Amino acid sequence: MQGMLFMTPSDQIESLLLRVLQDATPAEYQFGYHLPFSYLSDVTGLDLEITRGFMRSMRNRGFVRCGTGFREDDGLIAGGGYTLTPAGLVHLGNLVDKARDALLRASDMATRQRREAMG
């Protein structure tokens, strides 16, 4: 991806959703705290159908896992949702690295353009 200056819109959405899963998950439940589509959609501001499509795509690639959720007060099953997987955590790290690299390339390009303009 040498020529790409910025993350693709898909990368940005995946990064956002994975970050929400990571940030909303208590440390003791790192890979077992399931959040529903509606929560992810509300927090990110993404349309519910877009959220659903991205989560299913990431599930198919092993970055998230679908499972049942539990209510804390009585332990009864209260629906399902998605949780981050170890592979998803690695993918999030790769997306963060990609964003950082894109910003560095853009900064380098701007610096070169300023130097060229100055003669």
User: Tens digit of pLDDT for each residue in 75-98?
Assistant: 666 678 898 899 999 999 888 888
Domain boundaries, the chain: 13-30+46-118
pTM: 0.74
Mean pLDDT (whole number) for 9-20: 92
Please state at what angle helix 86-118 crosses helix 9-24, rounded to 10 degrees.
Answer: 130
Cα of first residue to Cα of last residue in the chain, in angstroms, is 30
As a whole number of angstroms, the distance between CA 64 and CA 18 comes to 8
Distance CA 63, CA 11 (A): 13
8 Å CB contact between 94 and 10 = no
Mean pLDDT within 38-64: 95
Query: What single letter denotes the amino acid at residue 70?
Result: F
Q: What percent of the chain has pLDDT above 90?
A: 36
**For 65-71, what is the mean pLDDT?**
75
The token pair that represents 79 in the structure block: 């629906």
Give the per-residue pLDDT at 28. 65
What is the Cα–Cα distance from 47 to 68, expressed in whole angstroms? 22
CATH classification code of 13-30+46-118: 1.10.10.10
